[in-house]
Amino acid sequence: MEKQIWGQERVLSSLRGAIRQGHVSHAYLFLGSAGMGKKTIADYFAKTLQCEAGGEEPCGHCKSCMAFSSGNHPDVIYVRPEKKTLGVEDIRSQIGETVDLKQYRYRYKIYIVEDADLMTVQAQNAFLKTLEEPPAQVVFLLLAQRESVFLPTILSRVVRMKLQPLSDTEVARYLLENTALAQQEAAIYASYAQGSIGRALELMEDTSFQQMRQEVLEKLAALPAVSLAEALQYAKEWEKYKNEPRFLDIIYLWYRDILAAKLLMEENSLIQKDQRNQIFQAAGRMCAAEAAKKASAVWEAKKSLVQNGNFRLTLEVMLMKLKGEQI
């Protein structure tokens, strides 16, 4: 498994142990943010459980493994919402109508429930009836980002597997070994990925993110020279990024790099090395305490928006602090 999945050694070790000891549970809940590898791990676990070699990872060559790889495994069923939520009818039609039928030919009958946290309360109650008395050879693998939406009765009947964010170094290493990115580019995308390889790969292909980053960085470089009125105009222009979670990360990393340049005075300390000239120029215009204060102002803005603060007002306050105005 570990050859296919980066990080998550604790989860992988637990799954291997369950297989080795013959204590496979009837239900698992894989928890983690988007792009962290929930589906990849669930797929490998399912493939391993069905593998005719009976090892702790799939052999890749038996009939079961070949069927899984082709996307046509008869005893692995994917459950997906038909609409925006996973409703009672989804549970009944995709699980309830088939769960009592004997598996086609392999050891288990495995249901992989994608976006399980989209289950309505009514759907969870319908699913609970099956979880309470599951057929002997049925295994449920639930994938979710949010644990809090599940009923306590559901959580008490599943084995929870929480995926941890990877370090920036691990994400960058993956990108270097599996894409054509140069080291500098890999480090930049990793810094914005928040521990998720999937998110880093998405950003690579996201031209809108690249355009946003370029625009924001250009404005940050010009910020010291513009008037306060012009700076506040940025808040209006940046309203188009209201629903873009990485917007403030770009600004925060800018001041983080300025502080690193000021204190360490070396390029290797920078995350956004493609901006090194502008960063060192900015570092030459402020002291370390000022750079730290500006980074703190951005962090405060991030916290305010998480708490549903007014976007425009939050940015205006942040920009005034970045201009050195007393609030």
pLDDT value for 3:
40
Which parts of the chain sit beneath pLDDT 50?
Answer: 1-3
Considering the domain delimited by 9-162, tell me its CATH architecture. 3-Layer(aba) Sandwich (3.40)
Tens of pLDDT, residues 16-50 = 999 999 999 999 999 998 888 899 999 999 999 99
pLDDT value for 327:
57
pLDDT value for 326:
61
278 is written with which tokens? 């502008």
pLDDT value for 1:
41
pTM of the full predicted structure?
0.72
Closest Cα to residue 275, out of 218, 227, 316?
A: 218
Q: Check: CATH 3.90.550 for 207-322?
A: no
- Rounded Cα distance between 102 and 96, Å, is 13
User: Where do the domains of the chain lie?
Assistant: 9-162, 166-205, 207-322
pLDDT value for 244:
87
pLDDT value for 10:
87
The values of phi and psi at residue 294, to 5°, are -70, -40
Tens of pLDDT, residues 244-257 = 878 999 999 999 99
Query: Helices marked H in the chain — which ranges?
Result: 9-21, 38-50, 63-70, 88-91, 121-132, 152-155, 168-178, 183-192, 197-205, 207-222, 228-237, 247-264, 276-283, 288-306, 311-322
pLDDT value for 2:
38
pLDDT value for 265:
85
